[in-house]
């Protein structure tokens, strides 16, 4: 059974995804305003500190995250061919695997699949599962 803390972290991941997605569409947006907006729209309690950690971590480490993701794509895929949604979900998961030592790899993978359920489709979920399973 999921603990309250795990649920608020799960909501933080959802919020972080929404903030990062919005930043892709509008790179000049004010980050703090975006975070405030997303948090106010979330219907469940959110671990705001963790949301900030993920957003800032993915933004700061993107140059390191993308080559890791690219390494585990099949020869027929490149980062440029991925949908923005799938790439963001992979970045969040790889960030957690590489930089959040308190998040087990399996948890990061499962949370990425949950994000894919919310923001993508079954085909993408299977693709994300394959990439992250190979990484683990």
Q: Is the pLDDT of residue 1 over 50?
A: no
Q: What is the pTM of this model?
A: 0.91
Domain of residue 20, residue span: 4-135
3-state SS, the chain, equals CCCHHHHHHHHHHHHHHHHHHHHHHCCCCCHHHHHHHHHHHCCCCCCHHHHHHHHHHHHHHHHHHHHHHHHCCCCCCCHHHCCHHHHHHHHHHHHHHHHCCCCCHHHHHHHHHHHHHHHCCHHHHHHHHHHHHHHC
d(CA 128, CA 112): 8
How much of the chain, in percent, has pLDDT values that exceed 90?
58
> Could you read off the pLDDT of 5-46 as tens digits, one per residue?
566 788 899 999 999 999 988 888 888 888 888 988 887 888
List the one residue out of 61, 74, 56, 55 whose CA is nearest residue 130. 74
Q: What tens digit of pLDDT does each residue of 65-107 get?
A: 999 999 998 888 888 888 999 999 999 999 999 999 999 999 9
The answer to whether 90 and 131 are in contact (CB under 8 A) is yes
What's the CATH code of the domain at 84? 1.10.940.10
Structural domain total, the chain: 1
């Amino acid at each position: 059974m999921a603990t309250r803390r795990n649920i608020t972290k799960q909501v933080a991941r959802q919020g972080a995804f929404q903030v990062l997605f919005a930043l892709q569409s509008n790179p000049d947006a004010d980050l703090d305003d975006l975070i405030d907006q997303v948090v106010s729209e979330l219907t469940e309690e959110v671990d705001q500190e963790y949301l900030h950690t993920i957003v800032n971590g993915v933004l700061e480490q993107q140059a390191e995250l993308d080559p890791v993701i690219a390494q585990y794509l099949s020869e027929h895929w490149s980062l440029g061919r991925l949908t923005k949604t799938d790439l963001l979900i992979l970045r969040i998961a790889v960030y957690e695997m590489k930089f959040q030592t308190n998040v087990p790899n399996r948890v990061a993978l499962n949370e990425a699949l949950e994000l894919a359920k919310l923001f993508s489709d079954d085909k993408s979920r299977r693709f994300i599962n394959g990439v992250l399973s190979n990484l683990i």
